[in-house]
Amino acid sequence: MTVTIGSHEFSGPHTAIHEIDDQAGIFIMVSKEGDSIFPIDVDQSNAILTSIRNHERKDCWKENCTGNLAVLVYYTPGMASGGRQAIEQEIRNENFIPCG
């Protein structure tokens, strides 16, 4: 399944961590409630899976999730960190993000 956020197509929402590849990209933590999703946090990383597992805002995710915690991912192989940061900021500017 895919979800369009801004002009970017994210895969997910993934509720199982084994569905995530440890690649460069942007991820959005969401609260999944039935067919609806609500963004909780957005971040970028050279290794998405590792970042999710070790993220410093995990407690914030749990506190702000009223449904099932899930993640949307947008893989960006070959994109520099600055490009990922620009997409992250674009998403933050267009959405209420309670964590971060």
Q: In the structure, what pLDDT confidence band is assigned to residue 77 with cuts at 50, 70 and 90?
A: very high
pLDDT at 96 over 90: yes
pLDDT at 1 over 90: no
- Strands, E assignment, 1-100: 2-5, 8-14, 25-33, 36-45, 68-75
Which percentage of the chain shows pLDDT scores above 90?
95
- What CATH code is assigned to 2-94? 3.40.1440
pLDDT at 100 over 90: no
Q: Look at residue 6 in the predicted model and tell me its pLDDT.
A: 87
CB-based burial of residue 54 (10 Å sphere; 0-12 exposed, 13-18 middle, 19+ buried)? exposed
